[in-house]
Structure 1
Amino acid sequence: MEVVYQTGGNRVVVHPALLVIACDPRGLESVMDYRPQERALLDSLRNFTFYTTCLRVYPRKSQDRVVILAPDIVESQTGLVQGYRNETAKRWGLTVANGAATNVVTTYQMVGVNGASDPGTLTAQRNAFLDSPPSWWPFQPGRYEIVQVEENQNGGIHPAVNPLLTPYFNQFLFGALEAGAPWRWLDLQGANDTVYVHASTCFESVLHCWSYLNILLDAKPALLSAAKDSAIVVIGAGVSGLLFAQRFIDSGYTNITMLEKTNRFAGKTHSLQVPDQGGTSIAELGTCYLSPAYDDMVQAISEFTVGNTRVPVAHGSERGIVVGTPPNETVMAFSDYGLMVACQYLGFGWPCSKAEQDLAYLELVAAAAIYVGLRLEIFGTIDGVMPISRPVGDPYGVFSNTFAQFLDDNKMGALKGYLIYAYQVQGYGDLDKIPAYYGLVWITPDIAWPFGKSSGVTAWQKGWEDVWDQMVKKRNMNIKLNTNVVSIRR
């Protein structure tokens, strides 16, 4: 194998024993000789696009929400502003945010598979929203500044990215899933001394990149059988590349080179450290939340979270869901919204009586129990990024039906309101459009349960970027930034 790259004005030729593709593999199409099986999988991939902006804004009325999201706008996937997170309130509390002259917020915009995702259009949509916002935007119209701060990664200081325009959630459509695309990726791993660990092989989140690496090394133990001084080249120093390098360094490998085309590592993780209220608020433009499903991963990487704690984000009524149409929108607490959808599923009006609410709660409990049982049957485990072996046939239509249809067909429609928040507004696709398989991948049993601590989320007090910075320092990773891959021959 031969990899040729340019860095620091030098042209370098290396012959690695193992090539690790930790970037979007489609970005290497012009320099890499993909085999027909690989090409077929790449041609089947589609992705959304996310556009997030950190702003300094000026409150105009009292706030009672830290996060507000509009499911109908999320569903349209046309790049309109679909909600925001108040970073000041997340860090300092709503009381401080309401008494402050300015707040720091992050707005979200998303474009679907076939939408126009050019930054000019998205910027214009954001500005139009800010200049003439809906009633649920609690800040002064037309008054805002885009935050500009510097980023310090491992001693390298440069302007932080803001806004962030990034491809998001690589996915296979129904036909490719029915043909077993995720397992075809797994079968190809290690062939031609090449490994694919980018999120496109599994799912978007940090948790799934970490979990997939566990599956990969269990399924392909030969990947760890090479001599410990073997040359390994990792293309891409994003989350999946860092996790791979850390795992192999900890297994004794001493000759790992990471090639990164940008001037920074950490990929979609952008933890802006914004001066705010006499201290610092963290604005996560990319990688953001954790759920209880992350607990095992957090324990495994605890060496890299020293001094960084998990803090709650918008628990209970602090999460708002926009309902209604302009100009008559209202904002409901997430829990009330989930209950409302369950009541409507049972044919009740809203608001409904206490007796009807009790029936809705019973329906939710029953639906959650069905979900846990079916997921265990299909996946063979309560957790896990994917079944290690492809399920036989198309059980319960998980490859051919939408997530919403899967829920309805199996008497779980009452859960839709909660799952719109837990799945849809996180950017993983509309319940009525996305294959059921992806819903099952993300909605683990603890997320499906609509009550208790699992209905909330947490974030790192110092941001995800601090985790990766500690990992890079403590493992002395060899990352070559601003590097251009010229050719790959296998």
Structure 2
Amino acid sequence: MEVVYQTGGNRVVVNPALLVIACDPRALGPVMEFTPQERALLSSLRNFTFYTTCLRVYPRKAQDRVVILAPDIVESQSGLVQGYRNETAKQWGITAANDATTNVVTTYQMVGIDGASDPGTLAAQRKAFLDNPPSWWPFQPGRYEIVEVKENQNGAIRPAVNPLLTPYFNQFPSGALDGGAPWKWLDIQGAHDTVYVHASTCFESVLHCWSYLNILLDVKPALLSTPKDAAIVVIGAGVSGLLFAQRFIDLGYTDVTLLESTNRFAGKTHSLQVPDQIGISIAELGTCYLSPAYDDMVQSLSKYIVGNARVAVAHGSQRGIVVGSPPNETVMDFNYYGLMIACQYLGYGWPCSKVDQDLAYADLFLAAANYVRLRTEIFGTVDGAMPISRPVGDPYGVFSKTFAQFLDDNMMGALKGYLMYAYQVQGYGDLDKIPAYYGLVWVMPDMAWPFGASSGVTAWQKGWEDVWDQMVKKCTMNIKLNTNVVSIRR
């Protein structure tokens, strides 16, 4: 194995015992020869694009929401502004946001697989929205500033990225899933002394990168037989690269080097520390939320979250869903939106009587219980990023059906209103288009309940970037920024 890279004006040649690909493998095409099986997997991957912007805005009316999302725009994946998160209200509360002269907000735009994702087009769409916003935008039209702040990563101070344009949610189409693509990745792990840990091997979220690493080391224990003083090269210092390096450093490996092409580590994590009317508000442009499913991971990484508390984000009525057509849109509570969709799906109409609502809640409870049962049956476990072994055949159509079809066909269609928020608006695709497998991967059992505390989400008080900064410092990671990989020979 030979890896050649350039950093700081120097050309370095290293012969690692283990090569870890933690960046999008497709980016290495010009410098790395892939095997036919690797090429086949990479050629079938596709992705969405996310565009987030942190703005300083001026309220024009009293607010009662921390987050507002428009499902119809989310579904279109056309790059239009589909909603926002009020970072001031998230950090300090809605009352404080209403009392402030300005608020800090983050807007979301998402583009589908074949959509126009160039930054100029997306910036123009954002400007058109802000200059002539819909009624659900509670801030003054045409009055805003794009926030400019600096970030401090491990003592290095540089301008923070804003807006953020990033590829998002690498995924396999239905045919590739049916052909076992995720398990083919798992099968070839370690071949040619190469390991792939980028999110494309499993799923986009931090939780799944961490969970996949657990699966990988369980399924491929030979990886841990690498001598503790042998050179390990990790290409990419994003979330998956940091998690891999942390695990191996904690296990006693002493020669782990991360090569990062940009001038910062942490990948899609961008936690802007924005001076606000009240104090410093954290605006997450990338990695953002946690759910109860993250609890085990949080416990495992506890020494890297010192002083960084989990805080509630937009529980219950603080999450608003836009319904209706312009110019007659209204904003509903998330809970009532989910109930409305359930009542309409069950034939009760909307509005409906309290008796019918109670019947809908009973059906939702049964549907959630059925979801947990089926997911456990298919995955063979209550949690986990993916089944360790490929499910036999196509159980319940998880590869061939969309997530919406899967829910309908298994008497769980009443959940779609709630799952639209839990899945669709997180950027993981339209319920009517995405394979059911990916819905099942993301919506773990404790996320399936549409009511109660577990239906809410949390965020880090100091942001996700603080987690990675503590990890890099405490593990004394050797990260080489602004590095260009010249060649990889295996």
Name the CA distance, whole Å, in 2 between partners of 1:325 and 1:438: 30
CA displacement 1:221-277 (0-9 Å, x = unmatched): 000001100000000000000000000001110001100000000000000000012
Q: Equivalent residue for 2:389? A: 389
Q: Equivalent residue for 1:96? A: 96
The alignment partner of 1:367 has SS state of helix
Aligned length: 490
Q: Equivalent residue for 2:309? A: 309
Name the CA distance, whole Å, in 2 between partners of 1:29 and 1:246: 27
Q: Equivalent residue for 1:412? A: 412
Name the CA distance, whole Å, in 1 between partners of 2:153 and 2:34: 33
Q: Equivalent residue for 2:252? A: 252
Name the CA distance, whole Å, in 2 between partners of 1:410 and 1:278: 49
> Per-residue deviation at 1:348?
1.2
CA displacement 1:2-43 (0-9 Å, x = unmatched): 100000000100000000000000111111010000000000
Name the CA distance, whole Å, in 2 between partners of 1:241 and 1:484: 16
Provide the alpha-carbon RMSD of the alignment: 0.4
Structure 2: stretches of 5+ with no match in the other structure: none
CA displacement 1:447-484 (0-9 Å, x = unmatched): 11111111100000000000000000000000000000
Q: Is 1:208 the equivalent of 2:205? A: no
1:307-386 maps to which residues of 2 (within 5 A)? 307-386=307-386
Name the CA distance, whole Å, in 2 between partners of 1:446 and 1:477: 34
Q: In 2 relative to 1, CA 334–278 (structure 1 residues): closer, same or farther, beyond 3 Å?
A: closer
Name the CA distance, whole Å, in 2 between partners of 1:327 and 1:277: 32
Q: Equivalent residue for 1:4? A: 4
Query: Do the aligned partners of 2:101 and 2:277 also contact (CA within 8 Å) in 1?
Result: no
Q: Is 1:450 the equivalent of 2:412? A: no
Name the CA distance, whole Å, in 1 between partners of 2:35 and 2:118: 31
TM-score, length of structure 1 as denominator length: 1.00
Query: Do the aligned partners of 2:44 and 2:173 also contact (CA within 8 Å) in 1?
Result: yes
* One-letter amino acid matched to 2:230: S
Name the CA distance, whole Å, in 2 between partners of 1:428 and 1:285: 16
Q: Is 1:159 the equivalent of 2:159? A: yes
| Runs of 4+ displaced beyond 6 Å | none
Q: Equivalent residue for 1:112? A: 112
Query: Do the aligned partners of 2:71 and 2:420 also contact (CA within 8 Å) in 1?
Result: yes
The alignment partner of 2:210 has SS state of helix
Name the CA distance, whole Å, in 2 between partners of 1:136 and 1:32: 49
CA displacement 1:167-203 (0-9 Å, x = unmatched): 0000000100000000000001000000000000000
* One-letter amino acid matched to 1:286: G
The alignment partner of 2:57 has SS state of strand
1:26-425 maps to which residues of 2 (within 5 A)? 26-425=26-425
CA displacement 1:325-374 (0-9 Å, x = unmatched): 11111100000000001100111121110000000001000100110110
* One-letter amino acid matched to 2:178: E
Name the CA distance, whole Å, in 2 between partners of 1:257 and 1:40: 29
The alignment partner of 2:477 has SS state of coil
CA displacement 1:28-77 (0-9 Å, x = unmatched): 11110100000000000000000000000000011010000011000000
Name the CA distance, whole Å, in 2 between partners of 1:220 and 1:35: 19
Q: Equivalent residue for 1:24? A: 24
> Per-residue deviation at 1:445?
0.8
Q: In 2 relative to 1, CA 278–341 (structure 1 residues): closer, same or farther, beyond 3 Å?
A: closer
Name the CA distance, whole Å, in 2 between partners of 1:252 and 1:94: 47
Name the CA distance, whole Å, in 2 between partners of 1:355 and 1:278: 45
* One-letter amino acid matched to 2:98: N
CA displacement 1:124-159 (0-9 Å, x = unmatched): 000000000000000000000000000100010100
Report sequence identity in percent: 84
* One-letter amino acid matched to 1:340: M
The alignment partner of 1:170 has SS state of strand
